[in-house]
Amino acid sequence: MPTIPEDLAARLARFLADTDCPGAQLGVLVDGEIHVESAGVLNLDTGVEVTDESVFQIGSATKVWTATLVMQLIDEGQLTLDTRVADVLPGFRLGDPATTAGLTVRHLLTHTSGIEGDVFDDFGTNDDCVARYVEGLADQDALHELGETWSYCNSGWVLLGRVVEVLTAGSWDDAVKQRLGKPLGLERLCTLATEAILHRASVGHVKPPEAESYVVAPEWSLPRALGPAGLITTTVHDLLRFGRMHLEEGKSDAGEQVLSAQNTALMQQHHADCPERHLLADAWGLGWMLDEQDGGTLIGHGGNTIGQSTYFYLAPDAGVGVALLTNITGGSVEARALLDALLRELAGVGLPPQPEPADGALDLDLDRLAGTYRRHGVETIIERSDGALHAEITMSGPMVETMGISTVEMELLPAARDGDDRVVFVGRHPLAAGLGWVPVTFYGDAGDGRPRFMHTGARASVRAD
């Protein structure tokens, strides 16, 4: 049985030094035991130190918690994976009638719904904000047909949160605490800023373009309506306790069956392929991302909010978990290296390598790839550029207003052919410092031999010309 490395504190200190990250928590789960190291400060302006009791935003890792709530409702017979959302939410409507009629719980859990995913509109802080957000989706058209491809969809997870609210007759926030936090004995589980402030809470830090160092982020949190998609705040210890339940066939530390063993296993099975392999994952389960390798399977889910990032992986075959909570949005390369080393030592399976520019020339028709691609709030113009591609990305919406940046440019270098109709390029995104090479994947058929989709940042954009 592997043992927890004695130099965890030194590894975490090295991560902070290499990334200029103000503060972080590192947790390791081995043989049922959790060990935590904390270092740095929660806020550069105040200098308050990170302790093991400090809480960080876990961002989209929240989605696994929401998925667990949905699977509990399936355990109770209130849902199935193929239940139509319209049958649960009276009056539910999207801009596309076919998507409204056919949308199922399975589509939402696997990011295959085609709903425009990055709607960050603010519907206030009252308990009705999730319901009002869902009503606002009536104006959103479908990005693609149901099940046509995979595209990361925050909006779909707010919809799942609303399903939870209707079937539990309460708020999503209450469901998380009563149905997960309470049986798991989690001591520092927050979904609201008014709760987080009662704890030793981290703030986010960002590095604006041309800035030399991190500064405190202009806002602390995304709008409350996005809760089911990414607003849990907790400690790395409680995050790993939640993960331990998923390694123990759905049982709490006290032996309570929080989720059936059958549905715990079903969440960890392959349900959808990801177009951008090795960016987030090879495939998707129900809530979990999956990396399937010769050495075994990794499940997990990361998260990014306004200046905070989460890295969370479990190796089910070895009963091992690792998690890193940070208060920056950069440092992904270093974070992956840190957790990859731990996973290889403790579980014998590591993270897949990130794509890099090809060593030699690839025989590619660059003119076929050029064009305009769109999704909600983002238009990308791809042009040929001396044996490579040039991308001009124009963004709009509430998050752009918060960060004050609307247009970026990126040079794309050929990386790989992936099958007959899939071509991968990589570039350095100016807003993704410390994230390494960002893959951009072209695939599908627009009907004229040109790709229908451009996939980057885990999102699909559709050819618009």
* Short-list 46, 60, 23, 378, CA closest to 222: 60
DSSP 231: -
Burial of 212 (0-12, 13-18, 19+ CB in 10 A): exposed
Contact between 400 and 406 (Cβ < 8 Å): yes
Residue 213 falls in the annotated catalytic set: no
Helix (H, G, I), strand (E, B) or coil at 442: strand
Distance CA 375, CA 395 (A): 10
- φ, ψ for residue 224 (rounded to 5)? -60, -35
Ramachandran class of 152: left when φ > 0, alpha when ψ lies in -120 to 50, beta otherwise = beta
Phi then psi dihedrals of residue 461, to 5 deg:
-115, 145
Pinpoint the alpha helices (H) of 249-361: 261-267, 332-347
How far is the C-alpha of 314 from the C-alpha of 343, rounded, in Å? 9
**Among candidates 352, 349, 324, 326, which has minimal Cα distance to 28?**
324
- Output the CA angle 273-271-266, nearest 5 degrees: 150
Structure tokens at 98: 């076919």
Amino acid symbol at 20? D
Q: And the tokens for 421?
A: 């109709």
Question: Residue 405 burial by CB count (10 A; 0-12/13-18/19+): exposed, middle or buried?
Answer: middle
**Within its chain, how far is the Cα of 323 from the centroid?**
14
Write out the H or E segment, with its range, that includes residue 377.
Answer: none
Residue 245 CA to residue 459 CA, distance in Å, equals 30
Angle 154-168/129-136 helices, nearest 10 degrees?
130
Which helix (H) or strand (E) is 104 found in, with range?
A: none
Report the SS3 class of residue 394: strand
Q: Do residues 56 and 233 lie in contact, with contact meaning Cβ atoms separated by under 8 Å?
A: yes
Catalytic residue selected from 38, 54, 60, 332: 60
Distance CA 163, CA 72 (A): 12
> Residue 196 and residue 422: Cα distance in Å, rounded?
44
Active-site residues, by number, are 60
